[in-house]
Amino acid sequence: MIIIVMGVSGSGKSTIGAMLAGRLGWEYADADDFHPRANVEKMHAGHPLTDEDRWPWLEKIAAWIDEHHDRNAVVTCSALKRSYRDLLRRPETRLVYLDGSRELITRRLVARHGHFFPTALVESQFRDLEPPEPDEHAPYVPIDEPATETVERIIKGLGLSACSLD
């Protein structure tokens, strides 16, 4: 199984994804690592990505999923639009949507340091966001609780067993 942790920038994808993979003892990949330098520079300059910017990035993530289809893994990706998720979806994937308000996301981005994504792009993320539809079978997981509780909610919601950290 491959779990795709999705949501707007600032929703906690990297934190939750890494913690989830750690709790499950699974491989982990962060979608930020798949961005070409031009995308990172564009966002850092305060310009939102276009579909044309995103497709090559999404194709790299899809290729990673295909390479890991026979393993348990977690990958993060904003996957803002249904068409993006359709490109990533495979029989072995499960989608988890990290759901939070604009206000909470903005507060998180203001507090975040050392990341290329500026707070000014929050509106573009919410403008592009197409939350998962019921037929996508993606649990909506609220992000207003501690990350450890969010991870446990995901594990229980997907009916998985976590590794012991003892």
6-27 pLDDT tens trace: 998 888 899 999 999 999 999 9
Residue 2 CA to its chain's centroid (Å): 12
Sketch out the chain's domains with CATH numbers: 2-157 (3.40.50.300)
Phi, psi (deg, nearest 5) at residue 34: -95, -10
Q: What is the pLDDT of residue 108?
A: 64
3-state class (DSSP) for residue 2: strand
Residue 110 CA to its chain's centroid (Å): 19
**Residues 79, 3: contact at Cβ < 8 Å?**
no
113-154 pLDDT tens trace: 554 455 566 778 888 899 999 999 999 999 989 999 999 999
**Residues 13, 76: contact at Cβ < 8 Å?**
yes
**pTM for the full model?**
0.86
Q: What is the pLDDT of residue 164?
A: 46
